[in-house]
Structure 1
Amino acid sequence: MTASPTLLEATVRSGEPFALIARDADTVELLTGDVVDVDLLADIPLHDASAAPREVLALVPFRQVVERGFDCHDDQAPLRCLVVTAHHSLPRAEVLAALPAEPVALADAGFDIPDEEYADIVRTVIADEIGRGEGANFVIRRDFTARVDVDPLTAGLTWFRALLEHERGAYWTFLVSTPGHLAVGASPEAHVSAQSGPPAAPGSTTVTMNPISGTFRHPAGGATADTLTEFLSSTKETEELFMVVDEELKMMSAVCSDGGRITGPHLKEMSRLTHTEYMLRGTSTMDPREILRETMFAPTVTGSPMQNACTVITRHERTPRGYYSGVAALFTPSTSGHDLDAPILIRTAYLVDGRLRVPVGATLVRHSDPDGEVGETHGKAAGVLGAIGAIPRDEAAERAALDEDAPAAERRALADDPQIAELLAARNERLAPFWLNPQGPESPSEGARHEGARHDSSPGEGSPGEAAARTALVVDAEDRFTTMLAHQLRHLGFAVTIAPWHAASDDAVDAADVVVAGPGPGDPRDDASPRIARMREIVAARKDAGRPLLAVCLSHQMLADTLGIALAPLAAPHQGLQKEVDVFGHPASIGFYNTFTARVQPGTTERVDPETGEVTEIAADPASGDVYALRGPGYASIQGHLESILSRDGLETLDRLLAHALSPAAARG
């Protein structure tokens, strides 16, 4: 520290809690205040005793998922709030001059789980979790740990300086110092933000989410267009990003009336790593604490579907996560209440009781290579350790990336390279226009207007727009794809209610004009599961009553079983797989997330019930006999996810299947 104390130096010497946040290239924000630990997100103290708004920085631990009833290794990590009493904006140069620069030595450094053991965990998750239909992808972490023998705050300030000097592309670079806990990091990813003002409508906020996935570890000397091209051409990396976008759209559809629109993809370039990312935007009137609760936590650091991902994490991770994969949430008073800015707590070093901990995870998908995932955790740990100076940096890459005076051939502007830009843009050709274009409840498809799916009206009762909307009950089987389905149904003009499987009463199921039995994880044959058993009851009761029913994915398999069609596991899971299929004479590009399938003899196009003579039409793969869709009197079903971004023809196919289920000509009697 310099002889003449600056505001920062005085804060450090005071021993009081504080935070440093760098969100732009020129300034560092210094926040000071009082620490309050609370139990629930709703308890974050955004107002004082007189109801005056105040600024709060909250560190939200992973264990907070218990608020939503999800599993975790509960370490009782506190939901820690820094209630801000002073907020200063300091010139970055002044902050750098005040920070220590002497390297901090590490001792007894290494991963808590050896490479081969971690590779075995990867194999087990692929075989026993993804292979049994428990989900599409899961993030399993391990920790790089070391002993630090210098004063914790000195170490943290040294690392914060190193991040300011050497890391690039971070969304937040930060240090938070509170009693007994210090965190310093450079998070690349904004999990969720809520900002008042244009383009949000009066009384609402613009919600933004920033799914980032796919990790390219820079070779020695830095990334080039040629080396990045291979990464962008990888099916695994591309599908990994699409899956996390789907998962975050589930969250956006739960908090935003317009469901969320995606833009991108973009490159997120950092000092040692490059990622691909999308931006999701929508509008909401929710309290920002509720927005944060409904979006706990990012699928890029948990998996999908979210609830089951937490269960899988609990089964395969050996220790609690602490704050890893939680968020740092800054609530700032605004004209409409509070704005929210919440990056994910990744690429972060924690220092407690003289031990450094850097948690890192790899996203495991159906075609993950265990050794490759081991390498990814090494790369992510090296990204943090190199940035803070704990291991040697790639100085040649830094010069090329950061030195404006470097020769043009050495400077990195990879996103502007024509080949790279073309590869990025080409990804959207596979995606559903519904989620790429602005949305609203108006402008239903022609099928919805003219085949009765939009409104329940009779000739002579006025225009369709004056009639009451049909009601749809969406039954959630623990996969929040149902929020996206509900948004599409509202777009088609339905009045929609979502009910969890355990809360969908017989009366509610009977009262709806159409029941949409949703997707979920697990084996459809597992009647020992209360969730599976209840979903089977709902599907069977609705079909037997001859009332309009649409069954999706897991529920489609259950419907097939009630019809006497065999169920079987796939040879390889179809998690996040896009397929071109024929759905009753209509070619369609549909996204699949299934491990099990209904299967008939190849060439089978219908099934006749031997007792009732009821005919069920079957759309199946001509070679394997895997059933893609069913339709019969008052019901229809689909194996794929019409709501997924991978379903280019999803909305139109949904409209046709609903029109069939609702058509009087298709119903019994």
Structure 2
Amino acid sequence: MSLHPGSTGRHPLLDRVLASDGSLPFALLRRHGGTEVEVLTGDVVDADLLRDIPLDGAPVLAVVPYRQARERGFTVRDDGAPLRCLVVREAERVPLSDALAVLPPEPVAAEPLGFDTPDDGYAGIVRRVIDDEIGQGAGANFVVMRSFEAHTGAAPVPTLTSWFRALLTHEVGSYWTFAVHAPGPGAAVSLAGATPERHLTLRDGVARMNPISGTYRHPASGPTREGVLDFLRDTKENEELFMVVDEEMKMMSALCPDGGRIVGPYLKQMARLSHTEYLLEGRTTLDPRDALRLTMFAPTVTGSPMENACTVIARHETRPRGYYSGFLALFEPEGADGATGPAGYSLDAPILIRTAYLHDGGRVSVPAGATLVRHSVPEHEVAETRAKAAGVLASLGLVPRGTAPDAVVDLNAQDGVAEALAVRNAQLAEFWVRPQDTAPAATSETSPLTGQDVLVIDHEDQFTTMLAHQLDHLGMNARVVRWDTVDDVLTDDLVVLGPGPGDPRDQDDPRIAAITRRIHERVTAGRPLLAVCLSHQVLAGLAGFPLRPLPAPRQGVRLAADVFGTTAAVGYYNTFGARLTTVDAADADNPVARLALEPSADDDGVLTALRGPGVASVQGHLESVLSSDGIGVLEALARHALGATVR
């Protein structure tokens, strides 16, 4: 095979890639701002499920599509995008300067066609999601995608390698910069990108996730100290980040026996945008493929709660996602001394955002999405999708690059930035920030909580994994079971009915009907019960308190509210609330009403909690990272439900 123009012959594998006619599968990777480009080639294998990714001793790079969410039973518009694996047979490391010298110097010509959903159409979607989803209790935040489209007549290899060089040259702050070409059965999988976000890494038994949310759009003249400080003080941007941290801590609690801890926050500065981020870490022994399945997909590109976010995405997006919001997953053998799990592989998995895709026939797509929350302004979210796509589009020459500022301001070095970041941690629960290698006093042998068996029922919100972890930390033995697989609610010492999306008044919703039935079962049998958020609302309704939509959703809000005489700072995720009122005399046919539950309410007359013989409930999420007083309130309510003396 002849060498390509500019080849020096020093890097034969890269030379082969650049001279290929498109039949050679390859990946070019620059990871974590490194000084080398990794060149990989090998055999292409398609897998049906993540568990089928072939880990037989060789490194494997998997391109995981969004449709794999079906493995978790979530709703997806299935476009058939393959889970394509490159089983690495040859690898080469090339100094970055050498790679830049031989890669195509300019991106191939392409004709820009614009967004598939126009600005006014996307703004309309934003309004509908706020009104019809967040405003009706479907969840706290949702990410909706649209895609910039273009066309090129160039062949795959020059297209992808030229995109790769352009992204290396023009983007900064990327977690991975990459180009992947994987021909196989059906259409080739061909993409190049510069993603800022790690989804999950596993190395030496340590799992790390890296939620990034909140976006400062740099002005054309360049970012400024004043601009970034305004961004860091913005309520909407702060709440957006805390919501995704909560959602990823749910995943960490499923992955890690210690539940994980929060490190940060940090400011990630890129060429046209800056983001805020946290690092989450904990220890796990899971096979990396199982860990990936449990964490599909990042809330920063889907929303929360995760299962319902997928349903909302399917309702509102105009086309299937393909690989957008999926991830690349590089599995590398660690050897016997450093095995992270049964497979003996480490994992490095970045999220597929800020990525361009080359489809059959020369179609080019660059998808981007905005996180929609209760404070969202449709026009601002339109601008955010444009800004997120712009870094890739400008690098590829699909929109004007503009004139770079004479000097780029290092935002992290500006006065006040470190302090503004640190202020955020004042709102976080110490429980999730400090190492959790020691348990509180409640786990002593004299505690009435020690050894109690707890069934935590999940109503399609994995906050239950965090609840279970906190209950375990209090000395109890908690297990989480999905609502539609529970067959016995009377055996366990305590049943915790968990939160979930939806309208608590809707008895046609099978989850609401199940909550109602299980409350009656436990109360009639005189068995201890604790209800949280949605389940608290259902309990309150059965007790005779009216349920109504709140004037404004409290999704991802931290409030200091009264809980039976104690002011507690707690995170709230609710669109509906039970209202304080005088309850009529007990209905002889209603076992909950006969309890004459004692209410606790905030200044607006919204119930914060209920308690009675063997029963307690709470509106807030005591397990949330926003609940700095959460673990203490949880202990007190669990003690009450079990009939123990509250300290």
Interval containing the TM-score (normalised by the shorter chain): over 0.9
SS in 2 for 1:428: helix
SS in 1 for 2:109: coil
Q: Which residue of 2 aligns with 1:439?
A: 436
Work out whether residues 530 and 638 of structure 2, in 8 Å CA contact, stay in contact via their aligned partners in 1: yes
SS in 2 for 1:400: coil
1: CA distance, partners of 2:105 / 2:495:
63
Give the drift of 1:430. Answer: 0.8
Identify if the C-alpha distance between structure 1 residues 658 and 424 changes in structure 2 by more than 3 Å, giving closer, same or farther: same
Work out whether residues 451 and 663 of structure 1, in 8 Å CA contact, stay in contact via their aligned partners in 2: no
State the AA in 2 paired with 1:351: L
Work out whether residues 543 and 596 of structure 2, in 8 Å CA contact, stay in contact via their aligned partners in 1: no
Structure 2 gaps of 5+ residues are none
Q: Which residue of 1 aligns with 2:24?
A: 16
Q: Which residue of 2 aligns with 1:43?
A: 52
Q: Which residue of 1 aligns with 2:449?
A: 454
2: CA distance, partners of 1:122 / 1:93:
44
Give the drift of 1:544. Answer: 2.3
Q: Deviations over 1:626-653 (max 9, x none)?
A: 1000000001000000000111100000
Q: Which residue of 2 aligns with 1:617?
A: 598
Give the drift of 1:445. Answer: 4.0
Q: Of residues 16, 36, 43 in structure 2, which corresponds to 1:34?
A: 43
Give the drift of 1:526. Answer: 1.2
1: CA distance, partners of 2:584 / 2:597:
5
Work out whether residues 106 and 166 of structure 2, in 8 Å CA contact, stay in contact via their aligned partners in 1: no
Give the drift of 1:392. Answer: 2.5
Structure 1 gaps of 5+ residues are 48-52, 197-204, 402-411, 456-468
SS in 2 for 1:640: coil
Work out whether residues 175 and 184 of structure 1, in 8 Å CA contact, stay in contact via their aligned partners in 2: yes
SS in 2 for 1:143: strand
TM-score (norm 2): 0.93
Q: Of residues 404, 417, 425 in structure 1, which corresponds to 2:422?
A: 425
Give the drift of 1:529. Answer: 1.5
1: CA distance, partners of 2:448 / 2:419:
39
Q: Would you say 1:484 and 2:472 are equivalent positions? A: no
Work out whether residues 536 and 558 of structure 1, in 8 Å CA contact, stay in contact via their aligned partners in 2: yes
Aligned pair count reads: 621
2: CA distance, partners of 1:365 / 1:320:
22
Q: Which residue of 2 aligns with 1:463?
A: none
State the AA in 2 paired with 1:63: R
SS in 2 for 1:116: helix
Identify if the C-alpha distance between structure 1 residues 80 and 103 changes in structure 2 by more than 3 Å, giving closer, same or farther: closer
Q: Would you say 1:142 and 2:128 are equivalent positions? A: no
SS in 2 for 1:12: helix
2: CA distance, partners of 1:633 / 1:450:
25
Q: Of residues 108, 111, 118 in structure 2, which corresponds to 1:114?
A: 118
State the AA in 1 paired with 2:454: A
Q: Of residues 339, 346, 356 in structure 2, which corresponds to 1:339?
A: 346
SS in 1 for 2:485: coil
Q: Would you say 1:396 and 2:404 are equivalent positions? A: yes
State the AA in 2 paired with 1:599: R
SS in 2 for 1:637: strand
Q: Would you say 1:493 and 2:475 are equivalent positions? A: yes
Give the drift of 1:471. Answer: 0.4
Q: Which residue of 2 aligns with 1:178?
A: 182
Q: Deviations over 1:306-337 (max 9, x none)?
A: 00000000000111100000000000000310
Work out whether residues 608 and 616 of structure 1, in 8 Å CA contact, stay in contact via their aligned partners in 2: no
Q: Which residue of 2 aligns with 1:466?
A: none
Give the drift of 1:11. Answer: 2.5
State the AA in 2 paired with 1:494: M
2: CA distance, partners of 1:115 / 1:627:
41
Work out whether residues 256 and 282 of structure 1, in 8 Å CA contact, stay in contact via their aligned partners in 2: yes
SS in 2 for 1:266: strand
Give the drift of 1:451. Answer: 7.9
Work out whether residues 27 and 92 of structure 1, in 8 Å CA contact, stay in contact via their aligned partners in 2: yes
SS in 1 for 2:404: helix
Give the drift of 1:246. Answer: 0.1
Q: Which residue of 2 aligns with 1:464?
A: none
State the AA in 1 paired with 2:372: L
Work out whether residues 453 and 655 of structure 1, in 8 Å CA contact, stay in contact via their aligned partners in 2: no
2: CA distance, partners of 1:503 / 1:445:
34
Identify if the C-alpha distance between structure 1 residues 156 and 450 changes in structure 2 by more than 3 Å, giving closer, same or farther: same
1: CA distance, partners of 2:325 / 2:27:
19
Q: Which residue of 1 aligns with 2:243?
A: 243
Give the drift of 1:36. Answer: 0.2
Q: Which residue of 2 aligns with 1:471?
A: 453
Q: Which residue of 2 aligns with 1:25?
A: 34
CA RMSD of aligned residues (A): 1.6
SS in 2 for 1:418: coil
1: CA distance, partners of 2:294 / 2:253:
10
Q: Deviations over 1:117-164 (max 9, x none)?
A: 110010000000000000000000000001112223212111111111
1: CA distance, partners of 2:332 / 2:34:
21
Q: Which residue of 2 aligns with 1:50?
A: none
SS in 2 for 1:589: strand
Q: Which residue of 2 aligns with 1:380?
A: 388
**Within 5 Å, which residues of 2 pair with 1:589-604?**
589-601=569-581
Q: Which residue of 1 aligns with 2:312?
A: 312
Q: Which residue of 2 aligns with 1:169?
A: 173
